Chain A
Amino acid sequence: MALIKKILIANRGEIALRIIKTCKKLGIETVAVYSDADQDLPFVQSADEAVNIGESQAQKSYLHMEKILRVAKIKNADAIHPGYGFLSENPNFPKKCEKEGIIFIGPDESIIQAMGSKIHARNKMKEAGVPVLQGCEGIEDLDEAVKMAEELGYPLMLKASAGGGGMGMKVLQNKEDLEKAFNSTVQQAKNFFGDGSIYLEKLIENPHHIEVQLLSDHHGNSVHLYDRECSVQRRNQKVIEEGPSPFLSEAKRQEICETAVKGAASIGYKNAGTMEFLVDENQNYYFLEMNTRLQVEHPVTEEVTGLDLIELQIKVAAGEKLPITQEEVERKGHAIECRLYAEDPETFFPSPGPLNTFKFPEDDTRLDFGYEEGDKVSPFYDPMLGKIITSGKDREEAIRNMENALEAVTVEGITTNLPLLQEVMKDDDFISGNYTTKLLQNMNDRREKVES
């Protein structure tokens, strides 16, 4: 790659290691940046060069654009890979990279900005012919909200335009819920996201969360790399993902994937991105949001298609044409990803601490982890320790392989959600392939019933 010989990774943990792995394969040099808390982690050791960028709080290290850009300049990095989280969806970051003559591996500022506003994204996708839920925006005050809600009909969702990842959302069953939630939601949106815009949307009571992996180059080519079902969630955050979705019919899968490509192409999308949909029991699908970055669950797609998504991201960022056409994208078998979190399996209470024992299967199970035995899990960042990914010729085999893999995992020193992951693999609803975002809640309710 003529343009990119050295990449700075503006992230940490498992995703930093994952990016380094592909860079090594491509002969690209890597620069890691790390905080005080992370100095002994594997990604710091694995990079060709590593630079401490400050104190453990993310604001003072991984979110500090100026420090990261300074390191990139000093180390002569040609490009920056933001991973997911942290600066990956901050439109100011690609803007600053551009000013410094550094390639940002992701879409440009204007697209991140456009998709970061949920109201704007919704309108853009509607224009492009992507189905959106019936809703209402531009609400000035409670009186207006009440009037609009009556017109739409409850149940509804009240959402912050600048929210995302499950933040800034309220379910409304009736007018009283709206009256109670309105002011606090506007206030929270202002405080957390710096934008008090809110909107109302029809609620789907038992939705499937299904997303499409997209990839576009700078020459007008866009492809989809099929779908992932991400309905196993706690607090609106994903725990287990799989691909292809066991719920969608082949015809519907094709339709959703093609619609997503059309939507992305309509805004001139570039690099890797994911379009998320809510899907109801009749397979009607509605645009939820677009994530303008690599997803945590990208390995599911890599296992099913045999492609290296980070390699493709780097190539596209370097200005190369997509090396594959839609017809050449293969889909083989089934893949499942389990996220191992440092948290209580039932209360989801975080559990930082030392990894006294940290053992994994020693077969060909894919393990994307940022920690090793003896490392300390600090309280400063996301509780995700890493991901276990299994595949099989069909879903049944992938589930069986996951059960065996989880059986071979031992963690001592901290509490993890390992028992929950094992329970899901044995759950009848999960095994049936028809489960919604209520799955974990339903399992929890059943457990409480048994206990009382």
Chain B
Amino acid sequence: MSDKAIISPLPGVFYRKPSPEEGNYVEEGQQVEAGDVIGLVEVMKNFHEIKAQESGTVESFLVENETVIDAGQEVAKLK
């Protein structure tokens, strides 16, 4: 099976957890279903959920928590 990527449709700051006090939405190696939230992007003081577009196993995150990303950038790889 070929690799699938999770893409952020928006530019902004990427977060892996819902709030600083909470744990990550998902960990590497975890199974996700299409529609599962895997992170947040903060754009212009709004928070947008990034969802897996298809089901699979999260192979790796390509960006770290709190890093700046561009629109269309891959944030995680799925297997």
Contacts and interface: CB of A to CB of B under 8 A. Distances in A.
Contact of A57 (B22, B44, B66): B66
B11 A379 contact: yes
B68 interface: yes
A192 B13 contact: no
Given A379-B43, A380-B13, A381-B45, 4 more contacts: A57-B66, A350-B43, A350-B44, A379-B10
Contacts of A192: 19
Interface residues of A, number: 14
A350 B66 contact: no
23 contacts: A55-B68, A57-B13, A191-B20, A191-B22, A192-B19, A342-B44, A350-B10, A350-B44, A350-B46, A352-B11, A352-B43, A379-B10, A379-B11, A379-B12, A379-B42, A380-B12, A380-B13, A380-B44, A381-B44, A381-B45, A382-B44, A382-B45, A383-B45
A383 B44 contact: yes
Contacts of B11: 352, 379
Contacts of B19: 191-192
Contacts of B45: 381-383
A56 interface: yes
Contacts of B22: 191
Contacts of B68: 55-57
Interface in A282-310: none
B36 to A, nearest CB: 20
A350 B43 CA distance: 7
Interface residues of B, number: 15
A383 B20 CA distance: 24
Tell me which of A55, A56, A343, A379 has the highest count of chain B C-beta atoms within 10 A of its own C-beta: A379
**Top 7 closest pairs, chain A to chain B, by CB:** A350-B44, A383-B44, A379-B12, A379-B43, A379-B11, A191-B19, A350-B43
Tell me which of B19, B22, B43 has the highest count of chain A C-beta atoms within 10 A of its own C-beta: B43
Main secondary structure of the interface of B (DSSP, over half): loop
Interface string A372-394: 00000001111100000000000
Nearest to A190: B21
A342 B46 CA distance: 12
Contacts of B20: 191
A352 B44 contact: yes
Tell me which of A380, A382, A383 has the highest count of chain B C-beta atoms within 10 A of its own C-beta: A380
Interface in A320-351: 342-343, 350
B65 to A, nearest CB: 12
Contacts of B66: 57
A343 B48 CA distance: 14
Nearest to B70: A379
A352 B42 CA distance: 12
A379 B44 contact: yes
A323 B45 CA distance: 38
A57 B45 CA distance: 11
Nearest to A384: B44
Contacts of B10: 350, 379
A139 B57 CA distance: 44
Contacts of A350: 10, 43-44, 46
A307 B5 CA distance: 56
Nearest to A237: B45
A381 B12 CA distance: 10
Contacts of B42: 379
A381 B19 CA distance: 19
Interface in B3-52: 10-13, 19-22, 42-46
A412 B45 CA distance: 22
Nearest to B45: A382
A254 to B, nearest CB: 37
A56 to B, nearest CB: 6
Contacts of A382: 44-45
A174 B21 CA distance: 31
